[in-house]
Chain A
Amino acid sequence: LAKTTQPISMDSYEGQEVNITCSHNNIATNDYITWYQQFPSQGPRFIIQGYKTKVTNEVASLFIPADRKSSTLSLPRVSLSDTAVYYCLVGDLSGGYNKLIFGAGTRLAVHP
Chain B
Amino acid sequence: AQKVTQAQTEISVVEKEDVTLDCVYETRDTTYYLFWYKQPPSGELVFLIRRNSFDEQNEISGRYSWNFQKSTSSFNFTITASQVVDSAVYFCALSEGTGRRALTFGSGTRLQVQP
Q: Do A and B actually bind?
A: no
List chain B positions with a Cβ less than 8 A from chain A.
Answer: none
List chain A positions with a Cβ less than 8 A from chain B.
Answer: none
